Amino acid sequence: MAFSEALLTSAEPIREEIHRHPFVVGLGDGTLPPEKFGFYLEQDYLFLIEYCRAFGLAIAKAQDLGLMTRLAGLLHSTLAVEMELHRGYAAEFGKSREALEQAQPSAVTHAYTRHLLEVAWSGTLAEIVASLLPCQWGYWKLGLDLAARYGPAPGNPYRQWIATYASPEFGELAEWLRGILDSLTDGARGEDLARMERDFTASSRYELMFWDMAWRQEMWPVPGRTEGEGDGGTG
């Protein structure tokens, strides 16, 4: 069994939880309250910025020029296509580009992106790919599942979002990233594989937490100091 297949099989219970989460079901049947989707868009936009930084570090650690070129293409696709789609969705739901870029990360968004960047800074290229795969692969599978279960219902305000992630183009990128992981782990040592499995599993868990955070519109357990407030000293 290929390493990626073993990882994806181990994460199947997490993906099942994601696919039946009320936020995801609401995307599929069109009943998701728009304020929840707007909150999700803000947080996912912030997430994608850091996701791109992780891809940038992956490019720096790639040894093969062809692989560097393909990773750079995936980075460009995220920056120029996926993030532009987010800006378009946001406009439809009454949020400007400025609102997206001025949003503050939730606790889950912060933790997930710090996990990805820590792996990207300190890990090997294979470890970076393992940490990034749950997002890329998970969104494709989610798009396919929602498209199959609910179809392109004309009245669903989220139908274009579903179509984007169910598209063959997005699936091709997910399959390619999975193939890269398998090629990079061919002949890898057990301790290295175990480290990649931990990174992959952590990202898979964060994916589920991200959907739940968006459903609850949850920022931080204890609100932080607002911008412009004083230093909070006593006396």
Residues with a catalytic annotation lie at 135, 207
CA 202 to chain centroid, in Å, comes to 13
C-alpha R_g of the chain:
18
| C-alpha distances in Å from residue 218, one per residue of 3, 17, 18, 39, 214 | 35, 19, 17, 9, 7
Q: Is the dihedral of CA 93, 94, 95, 97 positive or negative?
A: positive
Contacts of 223 (CB under 8 A, 6+ apart): none
Contact 133, 116 (CB under 8 A): no
| Sign of torsion over alpha carbons 41, 46, 49, 53 | negative
